[in-house]
A and B are shown apart, each in its own frame.
Chain A
Amino acid sequence: MSGKVREQVASPLDAAADQMLADRAADGDLRAFEVLVRRYGPLMRVYATRVLGSNDETDDVVQESFITAWQQLGSLEDGSAVKSWLMRIVGRKSIDRLRARRPHVNIDDTDASAPECRAPHVLAEVESETEALARVLAALPVDQRRCWTLRELAEYSYGDIAAELNLSLSTVRGLLARARKTLLRQMEDWR
């Protein structure tokens, strides 16, 4: 999965490799940076929205991430790794947001679970597996969803998730196990 967006501007840079674009952007080339923004912005938005559990703050988080990326591009040694580097920045920014709104976390949880109560059997029959997964994910407790997203979407190791979320390794494993089992159980209903 490349995570690339459709071409918007006809420029030779649109076809350039990540490394070239990252190198040029690190040297201050705004056009090269714009190509990276278009190339990975959509994937970063998807990812931020999944971690945050809604898209209310996605614009802000992605914008902050790119501003940070622009400032720190000089510290990126391997330009060809710019995609995972960007994903890490947006992951961190998203998690910072979640921390900032921690007092409301439980309220969010309750709200997120609400749609699930609407005639789940009927829903399961008409919606696709994809839609069902989106619904079940949204209903997961915040901690579980965060771990699952970092693991499955961002492909973090268990240790990285623990470090990023300030949790013990065993807590991360426990949360992931619960998330997976919940998703697997729900999936049994989709058949």
Chain B
Amino acid sequence: MTERTPANRRFFAFDVDSTEQEQAGLNGHTIEQLSDYLDRERMPADPGIDDSPDCEIALRGLERLRRAQRSLLERDLERESRRDDSWVSPILNNISLEAHAGREIPLTHPSPIARLVVTEGAVRGMLRETGDRMQNVFVGRCVLVGDVSVPGAPISIRVDVTVFPGENIPRLADQLRDAMYATLSKYTELVVVAIDITVSDLHSLPDASAHEQEK
């Protein structure tokens, strides 16, 4: 590091090489402690820091640094967000849809030598699309519970759903369940004994646990 200004102009607590200088200049504290103090929003108050003019200088410096950090991050983010879209498709083209195919679900076929299957992933996709065709509802995770690989074995389906506020949740859940049954019987031979739909309000807080179990 080249010294570009006379050393005596420097706030000597910022001496890069000496922790002793640092502590001597900060009423026994370190920059790290002051930085952690700022992280805690200066709580609980520490008079040893608050009443020290030197600490106050260092804290102001740290705060200024953080403001610069934030605006740097915002500037970088703004620049990245303005980029054209060309970076997205290489990502999507390079991921393998196989990763989420899941189990294979057999379909019967008149020919004894033909083997026909639909993947669990495809069934989940159908269930999502069924929901997407309805208004004011998002279908989240869909889980097929039971041994789907055995033809005729009874299974159940668990579906997480988010709805827009103000919707009649029981009615919406009934409509969705009917639509899903119709889709499943049209495209699969699964014996579905239950579709359990768990509904959460779109604007409810994630930890408010305002989940309503609909059977």
Q: Which residues on A are within 8 Å of B, measured CB to CB?
A: 1, 3, 5-6, 8, 12-13, 16-17, 19-20, 23-24, 26-30, 33-34, 37-38, 41-43, 45-46, 49-50, 59, 62-63, 66-67, 70-71, 73-74, 80, 117, 120-121, 129-130, 132-134, 137, 152-153, 173, 176-178, 180-185, 187-189
Q: Which residue of chain A has the shortest Cβ distance to B86 in the bound complex?
A: A59
CB <8 Å contact, A30 and B202: no
Which of B19, B88, B202 contacts A34 (CB under 8 A)? B88
Chain B residues in 8 Å Cβ range of A187: 61, 64-65, 68
CB <8 Å contact, A181 and B94: no
Chain A residues in 8 Å Cβ range of B85: 8
CB <8 Å contact, A66 and B1: no
Binary CB contact string for chain B from 2 to 15 against chain A (1 if under 8 A, 0 otherwise)? 10110001110011
| 10 A-B interface contacts by CB (under 8 A) | A8-B85, A27-B121, A29-B125, A29-B128, A71-B95, A71-B99, A133-B65, A184-B14, A184-B31, A189-B5
User: A45-B80, A173-B32, A188-B14 are known contacts. Are A23 and B88 too (CB-CB below 8 A)?
Assistant: no
CB <8 Å contact, A63 and B94: yes
Main SS at interface, chain B = helix
User: A16-B138, A17-B162, A42-B81 are known contacts. Are A189 and B4 too (CB-CB below 8 A)?
Assistant: yes
User: A24-B140, A134-B72, A184-B31 are known contacts. Are A66 and B91 too (CB-CB below 8 A)?
Assistant: yes
Q: Which residue of chain B has the shortest Cβ distance to A19 in the bound complex?
A: B206
Which of B31, B66, B124 contacts A181 (CB under 8 A)? B31
A130 to B35, CA, bound (A): 20
A13 to B68, CA, bound (A): 34
Answer whether residue B175 sits at the interface, using C-beta atoms and an 8 A cutoff.
no
User: A6-B81, A187-B65, A189-B5 are known contacts. Are A153 and B73 too (CB-CB below 8 A)?
Assistant: yes
A29 to B72, CA, bound (A): 34
A59 to B68, CA, bound (A): 26
CB <8 Å contact, A27 and B73: no
User: A26-B100, A42-B80, A59-B87 are known contacts. Are A133 and B72 too (CB-CB below 8 A)?
Assistant: yes
Q: Which residue of chain B has the shortest Cβ distance to A4 in the bound complex?
A: B81
User: A17-B202, A27-B121, A42-B80 are known contacts. Are A37 and B92 too (CB-CB below 8 A)?
Assistant: yes
Q: Which residue of chain B has the shortest Cβ distance to A25 in the bound complex?
A: B100
User: A23-B160, A153-B73, A177-B32 are known contacts. Are A30 and B92 too (CB-CB below 8 A)?
Assistant: yes
CB <8 Å contact, B71 and A130: yes
Answer whether residue B194 sits at the interface, using C-beta atoms and an 8 A cutoff.
no
Min CB–CB distance B107 → chain A (angstroms): 19
Min CB–CB distance A73 → chain B (angstroms): 8
CB <8 Å contact, B141 and A23: yes
Q: Which residue of chain B has the shortest Cβ distance to A120 in the bound complex?
A: B4
Chain B residues in 8 Å Cβ range of A152: 66, 69
Chain B residues in 8 Å Cβ range of A132: 68
A38 to B19, CA, bound (A): 44
Min CB–CB distance B210 → chain A (angstroms): 14
A128 to B83, CA, bound (A): 23
Chain B residues in 8 Å Cβ range of A130: 68, 71-72, 75
Q: Which residue of chain A has the shortest Cβ distance to B74 in the bound complex?
A: A1
Answer whether residue B16 sits at the interface, using C-beta atoms and an 8 A cutoff.
yes
CB <8 Å contact, A67 and B80: no
Which of B87, B92, B141 contacts A27 (CB under 8 A)? B141
